[in-house]
């Protein structure tokens, strides 16, 4: 196992390089019964009574289990830069995604997919390069490492586009029937917030700190995976490095009838 500390001390004080669970003799994934149903007071799960999650990630361990996550190892968006697990870090009970000035960046997708359900995560961003887009999204099963969705289905329930100060959260929905739909909220994303999405046959609803901020009558139909990405768009914002910090992730079930 290789350990290193190269993160800026202003952002991280106790972070080591991510070690894949397979390289460590991975422990079994944490059982859903060990996941708090509502880990944060501002969560949509608590406000809406979603009950117990079917899977969660707490990022309290020294590794991520490759049976739970797909780690990106691909060219970056539009073939520019590189996605690699080397820019994933664990520390202080959180997961950190780091992007270098040359476009070397991080991304991963949960292997736990479902067509209908609810997903929620707690994220804090740092001011950084506008060319980097921090993202929490749903992508057809297998992770969001590709540039385009083969099924034309995508739900970005937390995105930042060309905003180095991280003061605007964007929502993006693409479905085969509905085309592109957008929403946004003015919010200081350099402080902790919970971002959630509900996908059902009746449509898609997005939540920010437990409050609805996006709604559409269209929805996706394919099994979808939750993905965390720090995507590089050179020429579409200021240059430099970027960070994204993730406290936890929750996946909640939903019956097919919603």
End-to-end CA distance of the chain, in Å? 44
Q: Assess if residue 28 is contained within a domain.
A: no
pLDDT at residue number 258: 54
Q: Assess if residue 17 is contained within a domain.
A: no
Q: What's the domain range around 215?
A: 44-159+174-253
Give the torsion sign (CA, 89, 243, 66, 61).
positive
Q: Assess if residue 26 is contained within a domain.
A: no
Q: Assess if residue 132 is contained within a domain.
A: yes
Q: Assess if residue 150 is contained within a domain.
A: yes
pLDDT for residue 149 is more than 90: no
Q: What is the total count of domains within the chain?
A: 1
Closest alpha carbon to 175 in 132, 220, 139? 220
CA separation for the pair 239, 164 (Å, rounded): 9
Residue 163's pLDDT band (cuts 50, 70, 90): very high
CA separation for the pair 3, 25 (Å, rounded): 16
Residue 72's pLDDT band (cuts 50, 70, 90): very high
For the segment 54-75, the average pLDDT, to the nearest whole number, is: 93
- β-pair partners for 94: 91
Write the CATH number for 58: 2.60.120.200
Q: Assess if residue 134 is contained within a domain.
A: yes
Q: Assess if residue 131 is contained within a domain.
A: yes
- Per residue in 206-255, pLDDT (tens digit) is 999 999 999 999 999 999 999 999 999 999 999 999 999 999 999 999 87
């Amino acid at each position: 196992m290789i350990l290193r500390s190269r993160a800026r001390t202003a952002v991280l004080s106790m972070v080591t390089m991510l070690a894949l669970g397979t390289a460590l003799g991975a422990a079994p994934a944490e059982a859903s019964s060990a996941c708090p149903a509502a880990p944060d007071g501002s969560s949509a799960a608590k406000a809406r009574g979603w009950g117990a999650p079917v899977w969660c990630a707490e990022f309290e361990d020294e590794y991520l289990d490759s049976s739970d996550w797909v780690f990106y190892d691909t060219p970056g968006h539009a073939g520019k830069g590189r996605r690699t697990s080397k820019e994933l870090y664990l520390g202080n009970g959180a997961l950190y995604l780091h992007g270098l000035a040359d476009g070397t960046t991080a991304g991963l997708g949960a292997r736990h997919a479902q067509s209908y359900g609810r997903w929620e995560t707690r994220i804090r961003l740092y001011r950084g390069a506008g060319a980097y887009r921090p993202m929490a999204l749903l992508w057809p099963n297998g992770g969001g490492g590709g540039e385009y969705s083969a099924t034309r289905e995508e739900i970005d329930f937390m995105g930042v586009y060309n905003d180095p100060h991280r003061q605007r959260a964007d929502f993006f929905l693409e479905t085969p029937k509905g085309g592109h739909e957008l929403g946004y909220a003015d919010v200081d994303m350099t402080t902790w917030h919970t971002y959630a999405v509900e996908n059902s046959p009746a449509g898609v609803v997005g939540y920010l700190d437990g409050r609805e901020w996006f709604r559409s009558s269209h929805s996706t139909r394919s099994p979808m995976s939750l993905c965390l990405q720090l995507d590089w768009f050179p020429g579409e914002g200021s240059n430099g490095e970027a960070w994204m910090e993730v406290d936890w992730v929750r996946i909640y079930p939903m019956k097919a009838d919603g």
